[in-house]
Structure 1
Amino acid sequence: MELNFKEIVTATMVLFAVIDILGSIPIIIDLRQKVGHIQSEKASIVAMFIMILFLFLGVQILNLIGIDVYSFAVAGSFVIFFLAIEMILGIQLYKEESPKTASVVPLAFPLIAGAGTMTTILSLKAEFQTINIIVAIIINIIFIYIVLKSSSKIERIIGEGGINVLRKIFGVILLAIAVKLFASNIQGLLN
């Protein structure tokens, strides 16, 4: 268990791209308009708790239902692949119901700590040290909190065009990550 700067940076970037908090700014702004106030602190803390809990118990949950980490990582690479396709092409493959309140649901779960994030955390666990993933989660939660707190300012500064450009850039990064994840785990699955 040692801190590795390269692993922390990679895991942080992967989670940042999957969580896509900047791409979610339009959703956050829409939520704020519908419910009036967003509980940034509560949403951030709950999301961090869910992610760290899944980091430690995810494998046990998988073992309980008889799935190995390689299978989950390969399946995760497909989820990440489709998330990337959504971001790059600007289409929506996954549809969800409209929210009633904006703190734990839908912000902490599933917007921040959703299926893509959970899959990614387990996929990262197959490649990186746990401590480095925890640091990456904390860095992302701090950034998410800042974004949630200042979503209206961010919207004014970068505009809709800027948000769309960021989504496309992170979509391409995510696509490359999905391919790498698939390639590195398919061998373990086949062996």
Structure 2
Amino acid sequence: MLNFKEIISVTLILFSVIDVIGSLPIIIDLRRKVGKIESEKATLASALLMILFLYVGESILKLFGVDVSSFAVAGALIIFLLGLEMILGRNIFKSEEHSTGAAHIVPIAFPLIAGAGTMTTILSLKAEYATANILVGILINLVLIYIVLKSSEWIEHRIGPGGTDILRKVFGIILLAIAIKLFKNNF
């Protein structure tokens, strides 16, 4: 049974963990590298990952002999490398021709949107909230993610190149801090 209060709580918790607004500099930086972000593919891949993890996440990790902490550390390493890219202005992830759409899955759908923090949070929410309410909270967040991805070019034009560069450096440092915190808490 759907509970409005639970849906709002789940939505807000996931929105703060996903932090799509905070990821804007990374998204803008990736769009510059690959030319275009396919918002639909990134959002659908994120949806698939989050919904799949909601229902079978713990089982999948157990199947591979991986615990949630190890999963979080792996995500932390990717986030750390993205932060380094942003601060140093060097490419660590290869910029390839992305005809398969893989650029929209890694690193946008995973680990930025549906990363270790999001997956761990989804597993934690299952202990407190009804699955249907978590699912609705995920869907609301996916709509917000799609809007941000779709409007990233418009946002970039509004803040300008200087603003984008400043945001990229600041959020690069924040990403490094988040990665270190994830690593420290799960190592």
Partner of 1:155: 156
Partner of 1:109: 105
Q: Shift of residue 154 of structure 1? A: 2.1
RMSD of equivalent CA atoms: 3.7
Partner of 2:165: 164
1:118 aligned onto 2:115: yes
Q: What is the one-letter code of the residue matched to 1:100?
A: S
For residues 10 and 176 of structure 2, what CA distance do their matches in structure 1 show? Answer: 19
Which secondary structure state, in structure 1, belongs to the residue aligned with residue 96 of structure 2?
Answer: coil
For residues 105 and 53 of structure 2, what CA distance do their matches in structure 1 show? Answer: 13
Partner of 1:90: 89
1:20 aligned onto 2:23: yes
Instruction: Kindly indicate whether the alpha-carbon contact (under 8 Å) linking 2:17 and 2:118 is maintained by their aligned counterparts in 1.
Output: no
Q: Name whichever of 161-170 and 111-120 sits farther off.
A: 111-120
Q: Name whichever of 83-92 and 2-11 sits farther off.
A: 2-11
For residues 172 and 134 of structure 2, what CA distance do their matches in structure 1 show? Answer: 21
Partner of 2:179: 178
Q: Name whichever of 46-55 and 18-27 sits farther off.
A: 18-27
Instruction: Kindly indicate whether the alpha-carbon contact (under 8 Å) linking 1:19 and 1:112 is maintained by their aligned counterparts in 2.
Output: no
Decide which of 25, 31, 38 is 2:35's aligned counterpart. 31
Question: Given the superposition, is the C-alpha separation of residues 118 and 58 from structure 1 closer, same or farther in structure 2, using an over 3 Å criterion?
Answer: farther
Cα deviation 1:17-49 (Å, max 9, x = unaligned): 6983442225436534xxxxx764454234322
1:56 aligned onto 2:55: yes
Q: What is the one-letter code of the residue matched to 2:55?
A: F
Instruction: Kindly indicate whether the alpha-carbon contact (under 8 Å) linking 2:87 and 2:172 is maintained by their aligned counterparts in 1.
Output: yes
Identity of aligned residues (%): 41
Using the size of structure 2 for normalisation, the TM-score is 0.68
Partner of 2:144: 143
Cα deviation 1:47-76 (Å, max 9, x = unaligned): 322332134333222211112222222333
Instruction: Kindly indicate whether the alpha-carbon contact (under 8 Å) linking 2:72 and 2:182 is maintained by their aligned counterparts in 1.
Output: yes
Q: What is the one-letter code of the residue matched to 2:62?
A: N
Question: Given the superposition, is the C-alpha separation of residues 7 and 147 from structure 1 closer, same or farther in structure 2, using an over 3 Å criterion?
Answer: closer
Gaps of 5+ in 1: 33-37, 187-191
Q: Shift of residue 8 of structure 1? A: 5.8
Instruction: Kindly indicate whether the alpha-carbon contact (under 8 Å) linking 2:27 and 2:149 is maintained by their aligned counterparts in 1.
Output: no
Q: Shift of residue 5 of structure 1? A: 7.7
Q: What is the one-letter code of the residue matched to 1:185?
A: N
For residues 74 and 40 of structure 1, what CA distance do their matches in structure 2 show? Answer: 27
Partner of 2:80: 81
Q: Shift of residue 157 of structure 1? A: 1.1
Partner of 1:35: none
Instruction: Kindly indicate whether the alpha-carbon contact (under 8 Å) linking 1:21 and 1:144 is maintained by their aligned counterparts in 2.
Output: no
For residues 168 and 134 of structure 1, what CA distance do their matches in structure 2 show? Answer: 34
